[in-house]
Structure 1
Amino acid sequence: MQFRRVPTPLALLVGLLLGLLIGRALPSGILAPSWSNGPIFVSRLSARKQFTLPSTDQRHRVLELLSTLSPHHTTECTRNSQPLYVQQARERYKSLVGYEPPAQSSWLSSLGLGGFGDSQHVHSAPAKEHKYFFAINLYNSFDIIPDLFATLFRVSAILGYHNVYVSIYENGSTDQTKALLRIFDALTRSVGLRVTIRTSTRTRGAFNHRIEYLAEVRNQAFNPLHELRDSHNEYFDTIIFMNDILPCVDDLLELIWQSRRNNAGITCAADYMYHEEIGSPVFYDNWVARDINGTALENAPFEAIFHDAYSSDRFQMHLPIQVQSCWNGVAVLDPAPFYTPPYVSFRMAKLTEEECSASECSLICNDYWEAGYGRILMVPRVKLAYDKKVFDIVHPSRRNLTAIRGYVRLGGLPDNPRTDPQDRSWFGPHDRLFTPEESEEIEFVPGPSHVWCWGWDGAGDIDGPDVDPIWELMPNRSQSAEAVTVKHQRKMDGL
């Protein structure tokens, strides 16, 4: 028996009527109200926690983003790199490749330094295994999520998807960060990348200690690290903790390479913010970063950050520098102190013991020193931005280098930054050739006896340190050679 096709208008009308009947039959609070500006939905399933539905403008932004699913800012940062840099990068990061690439495909295409398009290929069995755990905290991060995930996709393709685990903890966002995370959660799973994304409506209360709150939020991103150990006996060899930054693929690869090359306890980038009065980017995270002599780094333009003369000289040459502490947007950590005594974690200061109320990131650096993992490294080549304005300044195309810095070509080959003065500027880190000194292992020395600390004890809306700065005495162990002795071998094969 054949049925006559129901006309489309009639089918739509029947569907609407059925929807209304079902909606009336179900209890209230199960179905969300219609999309409009500003309603509050209270769900029985969420313990009556409230959240705001997206506005029309927010919905438009999500749909617009879905039409591209590509990074906004970082898509070009390595695409037009000069051939000499591409060749160097291929050789430098070859030791990080975590799979056996097909004979006809170059792993460099996944890096973004060659032709794009191969990063989605499924590669064969791994050549070697080194497990990487990415921990990320996000808050109102709608604008950086596409770039962050695009970089994670490409870096994971190089390291081997089977070697990578991504843990994201988001809380308290008032934009559509949560909605966008759901989209990228599905995308990551589609390529076989393991990811845990946990969201919360929690925010810092008016009377909560700022550092206690931030430490708890960071520890939330680490929960899967311990869950995988307890439930599956799975351990990781390297941790990469990322803030809401705009990273390029070779930024993360260089930090991982330097971390493993030097068996560093903590390896950091250099991050920058725009200073309106100066009209230039300045170093940002000086509340955490401390030179190896214990002094604070400066919120200053590129050339005037370090007080220690030797550190300053190395910074001018973009060479890795030993520091007492740093975080700077991305930190690559040796996970051993998380797995073995004294089992470090993010924390607030022990105020009852008169410990200076430093940042939770400063305190974990101090704890690494005391645990004997005080090999802490800053990599100036890797320059990070938190927004498009600074990103565009520190990642210009090569043709703009002369105009930016006022250099006039004094000779040398146009495509060889070793002999071309304009390419030795602070800009264009993804186009500057590696020097032999950048590959040399650091000679780590014991930590300083005192470290400059500017405490932050207050709660509420206090927007900066509120305790008089002091020179804080460091534990004896951090001042001994044992604090910088290699305890966990993480080097790449052949290095």
Structure 2
Amino acid sequence: MPTIVERLIAIPTALKLLFALALGLSIGHLSRNSGGTTSEPWIGSGSVKSFRPQRVSSSYQMPLPTIDQRKRILDILSSLTAHHTRECTRYSQEAYVNQATERYAPLIGHKAPSTHSAFFNVFGGTEDEHALHRSSELSGDQHKYFFAINLYNSFDVIPDLFATLFRVGSVLGYHNVFVSIYENGSKDQTKALLRIFDALTRSVGMRITIRTSARTRGSFTHRIEYLAEVRNSAMVPLHERRDEGEFFDTVIFMNDVLPCVDDLLELIYQSRLQNAGITCAADYMYHDDIGAPVFYDNWVARDLNGTALENAPFENIFHHEESSSRFQRHLPVQVQSCWNGIAILDPAPIYQPPRIKFRMADIASGECSASECSLIGNDYWAAGFGRIVMVPRVKLAYDKRVYDIIHPPRRNLTAIRGYVKLGGLEDDPRSDPQDRSWYGPHDRLFVEEESQPLDFQPGPEHVWCWGWDGAGEIDGPDVDPIWEKMPDRSTTPESVSIKHDRSMAL
């Protein structure tokens, strides 16, 4: 007579999989509905009070895991998930680690640990203690961050996005972070990886909404209309949380890029330091004719003259002379528009009138059919939130080939473990040839100008626009470029005045 084990082995594989799936769904349903203590609801920290109704209880709140549980998950993710960006902070020079520790300390969303270096294990520290604390140990600055991500056939970059989001969340405070992912039309295993990510985020107490769809762009659907709808789909949970009484201070919109943890931290730091409406990175693609990476997103990026940036090496990207000088020194630059892989948005004009969202141009009224990311920049200017900043220090790539070129390893012997500096020049990016180069190592030292607020200027009267009116599969803009007139408000000093104070306690 066959044993129970033999009978189980004889069950067809398909039935085994169905049983395992049903069991997993049952356990997940029970865990989501299990009781437990919840953290105190957040009441907001921004100065725009008109869009903050009284907070109500939320079905999204859940018991926070213990410190040991969160540390265990973070250790697993730190060692297993990152692929292309796995080494980006592992061998950072000591001077940079000290600078980053001090620079990003105001972003800590929980009580700081007793030893300053423990917080920055992500920057190559060796201590085992992590800055992962229970809700009873949270700091007073509970700035809330909403991450919006669109994914399509993103199997190759998702592991790096996972690892970066977990590390950044451990700094900002998992309880302060909400991640919204909208995926549609993928033909690879993107959806399968997202199921894993969903489980792991919940295990550390970080809230997440992942929505997937089989929808793809139709042959006669306007490209910009489609892209605007996809981006707005990633923003839906922001408004759902608003209806529940929860508001966020900062929105981080990410494309399928390969960011390191300090890339995101620097963008958030600059966004809050500058009280910027939009803050973006600089992204790069490989140019076969040149045989090197060049600036990528010039369909969106515009300088203060309203001129398009160039797909060129960095000496020739900007036409605005002062901006070009700052860019080549890796200093934050005011621009008219940018997106460049990651954009940090002030959500105030999204929450309150004019309630900005991604859109296509009103072609019937004569508006140039620009990118949905250009149009949201124009709308921010028109709403009086025209403080738009590009951060050249943050260099983003979409594949490992470009990533490895723009983040070369440091060749300074004083930064190699086991060597001690004996005289010579002080650690200074102004004197280090690598730190002065276009690409340079990821651990480029900071200079004091990178921590200074910009003197924002009103926007240009006209902006160069190369429209895309066609609905079919066309490889680029299909109408003649024009100098488009901008709204009068965007050319006044009032367009760059601070209306929503998101500054840090430095």
Range class of TM-score, shorter chain: 0.7 to 0.9
Contact 2:175 2:206 in 1 (8 A): yes
1:12 aligns with 2:4: no
The SS at the match of 1:303 is: helix
Tell me the CA shift for residue 91 of structure 1.
0.6
Which residue does 1:489 correspond to in 2? 501
Q: 1:132 aligns with which of 145, 155, 164?
A: 145
Match of 1:256 in 2: 268
Which structure's relative contact order is higher, taking Cα pairs within 8 Å and 6+ residues apart?
Answer: 2
- Give, as a single letter, the amino acid of the residue that structure 2 aligns with 1:287: W
Contact 1:110–1:157 at 8 Å: present in 2 too?
no
Q: Does 1:100 align with 2:111?
A: yes
> How far has the Cα of 1:290 moved from its partner?
0.1
Aligned to 1:303: 315
Say if 1:392 and 1:414 are closer, same or farther in 2 by CA, change over 3 A: farther
Tell which deviates more after alignment, 423-432 or 358-367. Answer: 423-432
**One of 71, 75, 79 as aligned partner of 2:90:** 79
What does residue 63 of structure 2 align with? none
Letter of the structure 2 residue corresponding to residue 135 of structure 1: A
1:459 aligns with 2:474: no
Q: Please tell me whether residue 184 in structure 1 is matched to residue 181 in structure 2.
A: no
SS of aligned partner of 2:155: coil
Distance of 2:160 and 2:290 partners within structure 1: 28
CA contact (8 A) 1:412 1:420 kept: no
- Does the 8 Å contact 2:84/2:400 carry over to 1? yes
Counterpart residue identity of residue 6, structure 1: T
Is there any run of 5+ residues in structure 2 with no aligned partner, and where?
20-75, 414-422
State the TM-score, normalized to the length of structure 2. Answer: 0.82
Q: Rg bigger for which structure?
A: 1
Write the distance in 1 (CA, Å) between the matches of 2:489 and 2:276.
17
In 2 relative to 1, CA 76–117 (structure 1 residues): closer, same or farther, beyond 3 Å? farther
With over 3 angstroms needed to count, the CA separation of the structure-2 counterparts of 1:384 and 1:262, relative to structure 1, is same
1:238 touches 1:332 (CA, 8 Å); kept in 2? yes
Flag the 1:19–1:143 CA change in 2: closer, same or farther, 3 A: closer
Deviation at 1:236, TM superposition (A): 0.3
Q: Secondary structure at the match of 2:325?
A: helix
Q: 1:367-446 residue pairs with structure 2 within 5 A?
A: 367-399=379-411, 412-413=424-425, 415-446=427-458
Counterpart-to-counterpart distance in 1, 2:13 and 2:334: 70
Cα pair 2:408 2:442 within 8 Å, conserved = no
**Equivalent residue number for residue 349 of structure 1:** 361
RMSD: 2.5
Q: Is the 8 A contact 2:225 2:360 kept in 1?
A: yes
Answer whether contact 1:135 1:167 (CA < 8 A) is retained: yes
Q: Quote the offset at 1:414 in angstroms.
A: 7.8
Q: Give the distance between the partners of 1:329 and 1:258, measured in 2 at CA.
A: 16
What pairs up with 1:235-246 in 2 under 5 angstroms? Answer: 235-246=247-258
Runs of 5+ consecutive residues of structure 1 not aligned to the other structure: 24-64, 402-410
Q: CA deviation at 1:266?
A: 0.2
**Equivalent position amino acid for 2:112 in 1:** P
Equivalent AA in structure 1 for residue 476 of structure 2: G
* Higher mean C-alpha deviation, range 235-244 or range 116-125: 116-125
How big is each residue's C-alpha offset from its partner over 1:197-254, in whole Å with a ceiling of 9 and x where there is no partner?
A: 0000000000000000000000000000000001x20000000000000000100000
1:355/1:118 CA distance change after superposition, 3 Å: farther
Distance 1:173 1:18, change over 3 A: closer
**AA matched with 1:364:** I
Q: Distance in 2 between matches of 1:80 and 1:100?
A: 26
Shift of 1:116: 7.5
Post-superposition offset of 1:432: 1.2
Instruction: Name the CA distance, whole Å, in 2 between partners of 1:66 and 1:74.
Output: 13
Task: Provide Cα deviations, 1:57-91, integer angstroms capped at 9, x if missing partner.
Answer: xxxxxxxx999742111110111111111111011
Secondary structure of 1:386 counterpart: coil
Aligned residue runs from structure 1 range 275-314, under 5 A:
275-314=287-326
Match of 2:420 in 1: none
Contact 1:111 1:158 (C-alpha < 8 Å) held by counterparts: no
Alpha-carbon distance, 1:302 to partner: 2.1
C-alpha distance in structure 2 between counterparts of 1:468 and 1:117, whole Å: 59
- Check whether the contact 2:295–2:312 (CA below 8 A) recurs between aligned residues: yes
Q: What secondary structure does 2:297 align onto?
A: coil
Cα deviation, 1:273-316, whole Å, max 9, x if unaligned, reads 00111100000000000001100000001221000111111111
2:357 is the counterpart of 1:360: no
Distance 1:488 1:18, change over 3 A: closer
Contact 2:310 2:318 survives alignment (8 Å)? yes
- Counterpart-to-counterpart distance in 1, 2:330 and 2:15: 64
Offset of 1:460 from its aligned partner? 1.6
Confirm or deny: 8 A CA contact 2:434 2:441 kept in the other structure.
no
CA distance in structure 2 between the aligned counterparts of 1:222 and 1:468, rounded to whole angstroms: 32
What is the match of residue 44 of structure 1?
A: none
Matched, 1:222 2:235: yes
Distance between the aligned counterparts of 1:456 and 1:318, measured in 2? 32
Match of 1:153 in 2: 166
Q: Per the alignment, in what secondary structure is the counterpart of residue 86 of structure 2?
A: helix
The 1-side partners of 2:270 and 2:14 are apart by: 62
Pairwise CA distance, 1:417: 3.2
Gap change, CA 1:131 and 1:429, over 3 Å in 2 = farther
- 3-state DSSP class of the match of 1:324? coil
Q: CA deviation at 1:130?
A: 0.2
CA distance in 1, matches of 2:143, 2:446: 25
Q: Which residue of 2 aligns with 1:448?
A: 460
What SS does the aligned partner of 1:135 have?
A: strand
